Structure 1
Amino acid sequence: MGFLQDLQNRILIADGAMGTLLYSYGVDFCFEELNLLQPDRITQIHETYIKAGADVIQTNTYGANYIKLGRYGLEDQVKDINTAAVRLAKKAAKENTYVLGTFGGIRGIKKSAATIDEIKRSFREQLYSILMEGVDGLLLETFYDFDEIKTVLEIARKETDLPIISQVSIHEVAVLQDGTPLRIALKELEDLGADVVGLNCRLGPHHMTQALEEVPLPKKAFLSAYPNASLPDYVDGRLIYESDAEYFGECAVNLRNQGVRLIGGCCGTTPKHIKAVSKRLKGLAPVTHKDVKIKENKNIITVTAKPTQPHLHEIVTKERSVIVELDTPKTLNTTAFIEGAKALKEVGIDALTMADNSLASPRISNMAMAAIVKNEVKIRPLVHITCRDRNLIGLQSHLMGLDALGIDQVLAVTGDPTKVGDFPGATSVYDLSSFELISLIKQFNEGITFSGKPLQKKTSFSVAAAFNPNVRHLDKAVKRLEKKIEHGADYFISQPIFNEQQFLHVYEETKHITKPIYIGIMPIVSSQNAEFLHNEVPGIKLTDVIRRRMADCGTDREKAAIEGIAIAKSLIDMAFDLFKGIYLITPFMRYEISVELVQYLKTKNSKNLLTRN
């Protein structure tokens, strides 16, 4: 009798975690390489699970693809590792044991981990290696990204008639991380040709059972569930799963009651857990009828945020606009910062932008200072958000905090690496890329968190993205702009330009871009400042004329400031007719310079309007 025929008549018990056991033995490197280095150990684990009652075992190939093996320098051993894995599993299998070739998801929480084309190539190579050795079916597991599992499922279905088990992983009960309800996702996988659809990893048995309560019995496929043993604990630098095997076995009955016919275990599960499952399910027939009640109003958005004034990207589309950056203080003395904000408010800037620990050096939280200037100075804040300092949890918490404070103008940036800052040994997080951060913020605007959970309110963030025109190949920088637009960017803020001819070049290369650009201008305050920017800041080059003009000022601070302002005004003159948005970067808290330049801009704009009239 075959695998699918068996599922027609009874519940099959699958094995538990491979990595958990290897980790407990002290293995802390590529688990899949052990197919070649320690084959007896892998065979023994398979045999132990079979002895515990597993009808189905999976090959030790979860991460045995080109992309994941490449992290260990093993990308050229894809065929050897997968071939060995199948042979070891088949060697351990009994006459009535089914062997599934296993394929793990690549993207996890990060779409940037690999492109769809890279995933296709990697999957095909692993798939062919496993199919050549002969297995009873294919197991696609731990896929958080729905597009990824649909892509590989379609490839697998075209290449083989073997049974395919397709399992997604979710953060929140009954919903994928893109907001797709679980019941709809599993139905779509069934329609794409999956013979078994279900869940594995991330959730323990309790929440996995809850997730399946809203899932009807498939018409053509069967349901599967491979829950984690429990929530993990972090002890002495190691992740530990402390779960009672008997409890896990009891929960398997609940999964069976939800119509699951293939039940195994994921992270933290051991042969003890599988033995308990086998014991509790022995003699129980599969469920053939299930009443499903969809919980109403689960994803209803109860509130939609409404901006109190037009967004910056709306303002600059219609008229000239100026925003000014003022770095938050490195000390707890905020006097000069508040004075600067008030002075800039008086000259009528459209927003005060605040970097997020610029140059990777700690400053007063820009969210805190944004709240202060918004409420006390009555000036609009534009808050920069880096991917460097916060993990995915912190980024979402930060966004919710900004919304709660009524701050809706943000700039999504990667962030300077910690090596350039005061604490070069600090960790750079980078859970998300700037592209993914833009997408996350836009997802918040739809009222959905990264995990797909409803926020019960739609945020109304206007999302700026960074533009670096100071690169050797400007066309590649423009391609990044186009990609950021695809991810949801509303407008762009550029790094400073110090070359008048470069304005023309940037204009010509970006005039097809549909989103507005605030062009960056940063006044120079001394020859030392000019030389530092020119020689030490990546991507910035000053003209010889500008450097000579600043050098001629010598050490005269006042003369240098006057000359720096004159240079900035000449740059403004060039940018003024090409770009509606001007972004002034205040040097060293010398806000009086920015005030003078804003006044110059306002005067130019007034003269321009008079000329037109």
Structure 2
Amino acid sequence: MSVYRQALPQLGDQLFITDGGLETSLIFHEGIELPEFAAFVLLKDQQGRDALKKYYRSYARIAKQAGLGFILESPTWRSSPEWGGKIGYTRAELHDINTAAIELLESIREEFESAGQPYVISGCIGPRGDGYRAENRMTEAEARDYHEEQISSFALSAADCVTAVTMNYVEEATGIALAARKQGIPAIISFTVETDGRLPSGETLDEAIAIVDTACKGYPAYYMVNCAHPSHFESNLAEMKHIDRLRGIRANASRCSHAELDEAEELDDGNPEEFGLDYRRLLTRFPGINVVGGCCGTDQRHIEHVSLQLVRQDAA
């Protein structure tokens, strides 16, 4: 049963952290092979589940020690019909995988959550296509129908919300929000942007939020930006009319463009200390943002520095 579905605690003033770059950490730091960048395959056996628990516990401890809330984002970015089918999973198996992912996060929440420190469980949804390129675009209706299957699995689970990450065009984001509304589960939409602060499809972050909100009558609980370095979008945030709808950031460690990251053979983990300072500056400038974490190239070091800066800021 969902604990927070009716009233997501991150909609208040409390600060929350998330984990870092799940897939890049597993591949480059743990030496685990992930077909099609799909971390959900680790749920198929005990060894894989243990690896995921080790990963999530490391971040849960950071939140616990810092006195911050925590968003447990499921390892299901690729567990939708098309991506799952590419690596041999049936739709019935994907339903079981999505359910098992939430159950694993429930065990982490039971271990770490305490009064005043909520641990929110989110069902992670990824794009149908490439996260970096807005190609083979769907209509809103097509996106709704495609993603509803995965969302329905989360709606039947203990997930408190669903979060669509690395969204690169508005029709897919809108379809996901419409499917979540139909299934009765809160939806969070996270867009990715290029080095100029625009979506790969060309819209500004502000324009994308306005388009989705209009199409869905404001259904998304809030919006985020992920898979881009702060230097790619910080100046754009100052110009946003809808900055109040942006509550979360999961930035990349690297300053590289999406195209450069696609070609990279080694992990660019940037500077963890600088990463933390970037977040302190962003939250000082934009105090409505209260959900922060990492994306590609980030790991526990980056989130430790972020949490340290958040605690210092909160105490100031």
CA distance in 1, matches of 2:194, 2:243: 22
SS in 1 for 2:290: strand
Q: 1 CA distance for matches of 2:75 and 2:272? A: 23
Alignment partners' CA distance in 2, 1:173 and 1:4: 32
Q: Is 2:262 the partner of 1:258?
A: no
Structure 1 residue 75 and structure 2 residue 90: aligned? Answer: yes
Is 2:171 aligned against 1:147? yes
Superposed CA RMSD = 2.7
- Within the candidate set 25, 31, 35, 1:26 is matched to 31
Matched, 1:173 2:210: no
1:12 equivalent to 2:12? Answer no
Give per-residue Cα distances to partners, 1:469-522, cap 9 Å, x unaligned.
xxxxxxxxxxxxxxxxxxxxxxxxxxxxxxxxxxxxxxxxxxxxxxxxxxxxxx
Q: Cα deviations across residues 408-451 of structure 1 (Å, max 9, x unaligned)?
A: xxxxxxxxxxxxxxxxxxxxxxxxxxxxxxxxxxxxxxxxxxxx
User: What SS does structure 2 have at the residue aligned with 1:239?
Assistant: coil
The question of 1:125 aligning with 2:138 is answered: no
Cα distance in 2 for partners of 1:74, 1:116 equals 25
Which residue of 74, 77, 91 maps to 1:62?
Answer: 77
SS at match of 1:167: strand
1:87 paired with 2:87, answer no
1:166-188 CA distance string (max 9 Å, x none): 11112243322333222122233
- Taking the aligned partners of 1:273 and 1:174, their CA distance within structure 2 comes to 22
- Structure of greater Rg: 1
In structure 2, the partner of 1:98 is: 120
Who is 1:194 aligned against?
220
Whole-Å separation in 1 of the counterparts to 2:236 and 2:128? 23
Provide the C-alpha distance between the structure 2 equivalents of 1:214 and 1:242, rounded to a whole number of angstroms.
Answer: 29
Cα distance in structure 2, aligned partners of 1:127 and 1:86 = 12
Matches within 5 A, 1:210-221: 210-216=235-241, 218=243, 221=245
Structure 1 position 117, deviation (Å)? 5.9
Query: Structure 2 CA distance, aligned partners of 1:130 and 1:178?
Result: 28
Find the residue that maps to 2:267 and give its secondary structure: strand
Displacement after TM superposition at 1:255 (Å): 2.0
Runs of 5+ unmatched residues, structure 2? 64-68
TM-score (norm: length of structure 1)? 0.43
Letter in structure 2 aligned against 1:184: E
CA displacement 1:115-135 (0-9 Å, x = unmatched): 766543331111111121111
Secondary structure of the corresponding residue to residue 176 of structure 1: coil
Cα gap change, 1:72/1:253 in structure 2, threshold over 3 Å: closer, same or farther? same
| 1:80 aligned partner, one-letter code | D
- The offset of 1:33, in angstroms, is 0.9
Superposition pairs for residues 532-611 of structure 1, below 5 Å? none
Q: 1:281 to 1:198 in 2, by over 3 A?
A: same
Distance 1:158 1:104, change over 3 A: same
Q: 1:80 to 1:33 in 2, by over 3 A?
A: same
| 8 Å Cα contact 1:198-1:225 kept in structure 2 | yes
CA-to-partner distance for each residue in 1:288-323, whole Å, 9 max, x for gaps? xxxxxxxxxxxxxxxxxxxxxxxxxxxxxxxxxxxx
Contact 1:12 1:56 in 2 (8 A): yes
Q: Which runs of 5 or more residues in structure 1 are unaligned?
A: 287-613
CA 1:188–1:223: 2 relative to 1, 3 Å:
farther
User: What SS does structure 1 have at the residue aligned with 2:297?
Assistant: coil
Residues in 2 aligned to 1:99 and 1:5: alpha-carbon distance in whole angstroms: 11
Is the CA contact 1:69–1:78 (under 8 Å) kept in the aligned structure 2? yes
SS in 2 for 1:268: coil
Q: In the TM superposition, what is the alpha-carbon distance from 1:10 to its structure 2 partner?
A: 2.3
For 1:55 and 1:41, locate their aligned partners in 2 and report how far apart those are by CA, in whole Å: 19
Aligned partners of 1:68, 1:240: CA distance in 2, in Å? 24
Give TM-score, length-normalised by structure 2.
0.81
Contact 2:193 2:232 (C-alpha < 8 Å) held by counterparts: no
* Cα distance change on mapping 1:7 and 1:116 into 2, 3 Å: closer
Shift of 1:60: 0.5
- In the TM superposition, residue 110 of structure 1 has moved relative to its aligned partner by 4.5
Supply the distance in 1 between the matched residues of 2:202 and 2:16 (Cα, whole angstroms).
31
